[in-house]
């Protein structure tokens, strides 16, 4: 099988190295069908450390590889949901080629159309590496659990966020300082917004949910909130209450049959298996009618780890093990809720930065009561200099000080909780809008 590789970055270079150095082993794994790196493309033809591409043609135009009749399979490792990545995948499928990609953004935005195109062409579009790096979760959902009805998918799908939250939990500093350290260490991008605002997790969740429940990709129906507002103090308060804070990606089918998808920082009981998944590790918990609970855990990113998943697709295709994946028709009954939070109920953690003066708690309680939300417990701590998130206005504006009040509220519906949060944000005694995080006690 002649492979054309587009992209020689972190993952592409690791893949090329394996295709060259591991050629004999891979030939054995494919039962004698060699995987030959026949052409590569990237933005520039610069040397890649530790990668000797002697004898492998460099093609400046990626589309020329996608259309080259000598190429059987195109691997797209560029990234981005539009632009050259999309053009390459479409052109390769239109030219009747097999395609492997690790591009979650592309799949989340255009996966249904691209998989339909692959199916029309009678070709395979494989994407094991697009979700959770080395963890073979696509294969487990598509093959291992093929006879199951899925109830729920819960994932820690973004290594950067999990690293930041773990570091804050370990006392390494404030959000901004652990982010700066993560950028230094290569665990966070220079522009971390796709990760820390939850979009990367949302892309992966959209893919997993479509596969698990059999609906078309529905990225627009993922409620998405990142971790920017979570402070080291929140992590400490959550720990006092018996919880860890994790950015969870959750898709579940409700009693009404609708699938609800959401990405949110949540409080997870510390004994939950996902609560102990730390640093850049990813994990996915699947709940299915026959199999019960399955937990998959492993490296969610990195050159070799991601190349492992790309190579698994290549080997599967080379030995004829891989069947085309269709996300719209596997279990046609699934419908996605457009407003995933609308009917969601739950307990919540609230942190309010309030002026330290009489009557504040009464004002807060009155707002909550107006929305039928009752307080389960309250935690008040003396004011501390580092109570505020970094780069927020300091306590100078509040001559009476700035005190964190932490509340836990009983079960309430999300629209009421949001309305109360909006109203609380307008109270003059609040230093900043309240932080509200869902408490996920029922994910066992
Ligand atoms: N990194 C991970 O751990 C990881 C994990 C899971 C999935 N993924 C996915 O894998 C894909 C690749 O990620 P990565 O981290 O390897 O990215 P990367 O390091 O940024 O590499 C991107 C590669 O694409 C090339 N490229 C960019 N624009 C191009 C263009 N117009 N024409 C041709 N080539 C172009 C770049 O060329 P130059 O080198 O010449 O600039 C580079 O080689 C993405 O979809 C990503 O989401 C990555």
CATH of the domain at 293: 3.30.360.10
* 198 and 273 within one domain: yes
Kindly name the residue from 97, 104, 123, 204 that is annotated as catalytic.
204
pLDDT (average), residues 196-222? 96
Q: Is the pLDDT of residue 383 over 90?
A: no
Cα Dmax for the chain: 78
pLDDT band at 396 (very low <50, low <70, confident <90, very high): very low
CA–centroid distance, 39 to ligand 1, in Å, is: 16
- Ligand 1 pocket, residue 299 CB under 6 Å: no
* 19 and 155 within one domain: no
What does the block give as tokens for 424? 């609380």
* 100 and 150 within one domain: no
pLDDT (average), residues 115-139? 96
- Ligand 1 pocket, residue 207 CB under 6 Å: no
Give me the chain's average pLDDT, please.
Answer: 93
Contact predicate 154/285, CB 8 Å: yes
Sheet holding 98-101, edge to edge: 36-41, 2-6, 73-76, 98-101, 125-126
* pLDDT score of 258: 95
pLDDT band at 399 (very low <50, low <70, confident <90, very high): low
- Name the residue with higher pLDDT: 333 or 323: 323
Active-site annotation holds for 204: yes
- Ligand 1 pocket, residue 157 CB under 6 Å: no
* 357 and 210 within one domain: no
- Ligand 1 pocket, residue 75 CB under 6 Å: no
Is 385 part of a structural domain of the chain?
A: yes
pLDDT digits (tens, 9 = 90+) for 63-77: 999 999 999 999 999
Number of other CB atoms surrounding residue 240 within 10 Å: 10
* pLDDT score of 293: 97
| Rounded-to-integer distance, Cα 399 and Cα 355, Å | 8
Number of other CB atoms surrounding residue 23 within 10 Å: 14
Q: Of all atoms in ligand 1, which is nearest to the CA of residue 10?
A: 16
Number of other CB atoms surrounding residue 46 within 10 Å: 8
Is 135 part of a structural domain of the chain?
A: no
CA–centroid distance, 375 to ligand 1, in Å, is: 48
* 200 and 54 within one domain: no
* pLDDT score of 395: 39
- Ligand 1 pocket, residue 11 CB under 6 Å: yes
Q: Is the pLDDT of residue 387 over 80?
A: no
pLDDT band at 410 (very low <50, low <70, confident <90, very high): very high
Residues 6+ apart with CB under 8 A from 33: 1, 27, 318, 319
| Rounded-to-integer distance, Cα 259 and Cα 251, Å | 7
- Ligand 1 pocket, residue 318 CB under 6 Å: no
pLDDT band at 393 (very low <50, low <70, confident <90, very high): very low
- Ligand 1 pocket, residue 10 CB under 6 Å: yes
| Rounded-to-integer distance, Cα 238 and Cα 266, Å | 10
Counting ligand 1 atoms within 8 A of each CB, the residue from 4, 79, 88 with the most, and so the one to mutate, is 79
Contact predicate 267/437, CB 8 Å: yes
Q: 65: domain CATH number?
A: 3.40.50.720
With CA atoms as reference, report the closest residue to 301 among 78, 49, 50, 11: 11
* 148 and 119 within one domain: no
CA–centroid distance, 180 to ligand 1, in Å, is: 23
| Rounded-to-integer distance, Cα 126 and Cα 317, Å | 9
Is 34 part of a structural domain of the chain?
A: yes
Is 134 part of a structural domain of the chain?
A: no
Contact predicate 192/169, CB 8 Å: no
Contact predicate 111/138, CB 8 Å: no
What does the block give as tokens for 400? 């009476």
pLDDT band at 357 (very low <50, low <70, confident <90, very high): confident
CA–centroid distance, 195 to ligand 1, in Å, is: 16
pTM: 0.95
* 118 and 89 within one domain: yes
Distances (CA, A) of 189 to 40, 124, 378: 25, 31, 37
Instruction: In the chain, count H helices and then E strands.
Output: 14, 16
Is 74 part of a structural domain of the chain?
A: yes
* 159 and 83 within one domain: no
Task: Give the end of a domain, one of 74, 95, 126.
Answer: 126
CA–centroid distance, 430 to ligand 1, in Å, is: 44
* 255 and 198 within one domain: yes
| Rounded-to-integer distance, Cα 320 and Cα 4, Å | 19
pLDDT (average), residues 3-24? 98
Q: Of all atoms in ligand 1, which is nearest to the CA of residue 79?
A: 45
Residues of the domain holding 81: 2-126
Is 191 part of a structural domain of the chain?
A: yes
pLDDT band at 386 (very low <50, low <70, confident <90, very high): very low
Is 217 part of a structural domain of the chain?
A: yes
* pLDDT score of 318: 96
* pLDDT score of 392: 43
Q: Of all atoms in ligand 1, which is nearest to the CA of residue 83?
A: 31
* pLDDT score of 390: 44
Q: Is the pLDDT of residue 118 over 60?
A: yes
* Minimal-distance CA residue to ligand 1 atom 19: 9
Task: Give the end of a domain, one of 126, 160, 190.
Answer: 126
Name the percent of the chain lying above pLDDT 70: 94
CA–centroid distance, 116 to ligand 1, in Å, is: 25
* Minimal-distance CA residue to ligand 1 atom 4: 301
pLDDT digits (tens, 9 = 90+) for 278-324: 999 999 999 999 999 999 999 999 999 999 999 999 999 999 988 77
* 384 and 264 within one domain: no
pLDDT band at 401 (very low <50, low <70, confident <90, very high): confident
| Rounded-to-integer distance, Cα 221 and Cα 227, Å | 19
pLDDT digits (tens, 9 = 90+) for 173-189: 999 999 999 999 989 99
- Ligand 1 pocket, residue 103 CB under 6 Å: yes
* pLDDT score of 328: 61
Burial class (CB in 10 A: 0-12, 13-18, 19+), 186: exposed
* 236 and 293 within one domain: yes
Q: Which residues are registered as beta bridge partners of 285?
A: 154, 295
> Which helix or strand (DSSP H or E) is residue 262 part of?
strand 258-269
List the single range of 107-116, 237-246, 294-303, 377-386 with lowest mean pLDDT: 377-386
Residues 6+ apart with CB under 8 A from 176: 390, 391
> Which helix or strand (DSSP H or E) is residue 370 part of?
helix 360-370
Q: Of all atoms in ligand 1, which is nearest to the CA of residue 42?
A: 34
Please state the domain count of the chain: 3
* pLDDT score of 362: 95
Task: Give the end of a domain, one of 336, 362, 386.
Answer: 336
What does the block give as tokens for 134? 């080395």
pLDDT band at 378 (very low <50, low <70, confident <90, very high): very high
pLDDT band at 380 (very low <50, low <70, confident <90, very high): confident
Cα-to-chain-centroid distance, residue 19 = 28
Is 312 part of a structural domain of the chain?
A: no
Contact predicate 181/108, CB 8 Å: no
Q: Of all atoms in ligand 1, which is nearest to the CA of residue 302?
A: 3
* 350 and 331 within one domain: no
- Ligand 1 pocket, residue 53 CB under 6 Å: no
- Ligand 1 pocket, residue 62 CB under 6 Å: yes
């Amino acid at each position: 099988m002649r492979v054309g590789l587009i992209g020689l970055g972190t993952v592409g270079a690791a893949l090329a190295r394996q295709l060259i150095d591991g050629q004999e082993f891979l030939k054995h794994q494919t039962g004698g069908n060699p995987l030959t790196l026949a052409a590569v493309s990237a933005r520039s033809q610069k040397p890649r450390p530790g990668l000797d591409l002697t004898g492998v043609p460099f093609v400046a135009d990626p589309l020329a590889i996608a259309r080259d009749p000598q190429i059987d399979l195109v691997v797209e490792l560029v990234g981005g949901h539009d632009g050259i990545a999309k053009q390459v995948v479409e052109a390769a499928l239109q030219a009747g080629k097999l395609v492997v990609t690790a591009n979650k953004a592309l799949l989340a935005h255009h996966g249904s159309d691209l998989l339909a195109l692959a199916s029309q062409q009678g070709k395979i579009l494989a994407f094991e590496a697009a979700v959770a790096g080395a963890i073979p979760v696509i294969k487990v959902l598509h093959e291992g659990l093929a006879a199951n009805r899925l109830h729920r998918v819960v994932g820690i799908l973004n290594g950067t966020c999990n690293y930041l939250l773990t570091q804050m939990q370990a006392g390494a500093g404030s959000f901004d300082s652990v982010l700066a350290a993560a950028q230094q260490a290569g665990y966070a991008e220079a522009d971390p917004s796709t990760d820390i605002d939850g979009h990367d997790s949302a892309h992966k969740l959209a893919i997993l949910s479509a596969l698990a429940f059999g609906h078309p990709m529905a990225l627009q129906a993922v409620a998405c909130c990142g971790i920017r507002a979570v402070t080291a103090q929140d992590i400490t308060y959550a720990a006092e209450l018996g919880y860890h804070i994790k950015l969870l990606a959750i898709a579940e089918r409700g009693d009404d049959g609708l699938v609800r998808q959401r990405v949110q920082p949540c409080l997870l009981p510390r004994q939950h298996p996902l609560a102990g998944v730390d640093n850049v590790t990813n994990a996915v918990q699947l709940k299915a009618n026959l199999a019960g609970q399955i937990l998959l855990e492993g490296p969610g990113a990195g050159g070799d780890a991601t190349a492992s998943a790309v190579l698994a697709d290549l080997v599967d295709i080379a030995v004829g093990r891989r069947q085309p994946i269709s996300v719209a028709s596997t279990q046609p009954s699934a419908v996605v809720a457009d407003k995933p939070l609308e009917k969601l109920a739950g307990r919540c953690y609230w942190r309010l930065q309030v002026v330290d003066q009489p009557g504040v708690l009464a004002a807060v309680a009155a707002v909550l009561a107006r929305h039928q939300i009752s307080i389960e417990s309250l935690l008040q701590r003396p004011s501390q200099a580092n109570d505020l998130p970094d780069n927020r206005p300091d306590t100078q504006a509040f001559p009476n000080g700035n005190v964190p009040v932490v509340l836990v509220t009983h079960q309430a519906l999300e629209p009421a909780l949001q309305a109360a949060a909006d109203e609380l944000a307008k109270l003059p005694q609040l230093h900043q809008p309240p932080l509200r995080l869902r408490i996920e006690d029922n994910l066992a």
